[in-house]
Amino acid sequence: AQTVTQSQPEMSVQEAETVTLSCTYDTSESDYYLFWYKQPPSRQMILVIRQEAYKQQNATENRFSVNFQKAAKSFSLKISDSQLGDAAMYFCAYSRSIIGNQFYFGTGTSLTVIP
Amino acid sequence: ETGVTQSPTHLIKTRGQQVTLRCSSQSGHNTVSWYQQALGQGPQFIFQYYREEENGRGNFPPRFSGLQFPNYSSELNVNALELDDSALYLCASSLTSGTEQYFGPGTRLTVT
C-alpha cells in the first residue's frame, strides 16, 4: 500500500527566508504523480506544485520548487523568499497514474511565517 | 478559488442520524473524489465517481455512499452516524486520472 510520510509536524521560517518541507513516500509503482497542497485556515486545499515521476527535472513554480529523489522516494518542497501568506498547513500527496486516481496524503506540516 | 463548491459549510447531527453533503464540481470535470479529514490529519480517501459510476473506494464502511449526477454534481451520504464521523469532508474534482484534483472548501460535520 502507498504511504506518505511528513516527519515535520511544525516548521517556522522568518519572512523573506527559505524553508524546506520534507516528504517521503512508499510505492512499488514506477509511474506516479506527487503533489504539494496548501491548506490555509480558510480550509480550501490549493495546489502548490506537482511532479511527474517520469520527469527527472524538478518542478518549479515561482518561489516554490521541489527536490524529487525517485530512488530515495523523497519529495521535499522549498519555499524561497517566504511571505506571510505562505503560512498554512502543507500536505504532500501521491497519486497513481491510472484511472481511479486516489490521492494518498501525508499528515501535514504546519508552517508559521515570522514577520 | 477552485470553482468547486460544497454545501453546507457546517452541519451538526446526532449519533444515528443520516446526513447528505453536496458538491458542485468545477465546470467540465467528470471525476469527483470525496475525502474525510479528521482534525490534525491529512485527508483520507472515501471514494471516487467517474461518469456517475463508483470508480474506487477507500477503507470506509458501506454506510458511506455517494452519487454523481449527469451535471457532475455529487453527494456524499452517511447513514447511522457515529461520533468518529465528525470531520471535515472535502470533495475534489478532476478531468482524468493522473491530473491534479481541485478541492472544495469542505463541510465541517459534527456528530454529537
Determine the pLDDT at residue B1: 65
Contact of B43 with A103, CB cutoff 8 Å: yes
User: CB B45 to CB A102 under 8 A?
Assistant: yes
- Which stretches in chain B have pLDDT values below 50? 98
User: CB B103 to CB A45 under 8 A?
Assistant: yes
pLDDT along chain A (115 residues), means of 10: 89 98 94 92 87 92 96 97 96 77 90 97
Q: Three cell numbers at B82?
A: 457515529
Nearest neighbour of A108 by CB, restricted to B42, B99, B102: B42
Per-residue HEC secondary structure of B22-33 comes to: EEECCCCCCEEE
Q: Residue B8: is the preceding peptide bond cis (ω within 30°)?
A: yes
Determine the pLDDT at residue A39: 94
User: CB A103 to CB B94 under 8 A?
Assistant: no
User: CB B33 to CB A102 under 8 A?
Assistant: yes
User: CB A100 to CB B41 under 8 A?
Assistant: no
A43 touching B (Cβ < 8 Å): yes
Chain A interface mutation, best of B10, B31, B34, B37, highest count of A Cβ atoms under 10 Å: B37
Determine the pLDDT at residue A96: 80
Chain B interface mutation, best of A54, A101, A107, A109, highest count of B Cβ atoms under 10 Å: A101
Q: Three cell numbers at B19?
A: 446526513
Measure CA B93 to chain center. 10
Per-residue DSSP letter, A44: -
Determine the pLDDT at residue A68: 97
Summarize pLDDT for B38-65 with one digit per residue, the tens: 988 999 999 999 888 988 888 999 999 9
Q: How many CB pairs under 8 A join A and B?
A: 75
Nearest neighbour of B94 by CB, restricted to A6, A45, A101: A101
**Residue A78, C-beta contacts closer than 8 angstroms, at least 6 positions apart:** A18, A19, A20, A21, A64, A65, A66, A67
Q: Which residue, among A71, A7, A65, has the nearest Cα to A36 in the 3D structure? A: A65
State the nearest Cα–Cα gap between A42 and chain B, in angstroms.
Answer: 8
Determine the pLDDT at residue A97: 63
DSSP string, B14-79: -TT--EEEEEEPPTT--EEEEEEE-TTS--EEEEEEETTEEEEE-S--TTEEEEE-TTS-EEEEE-
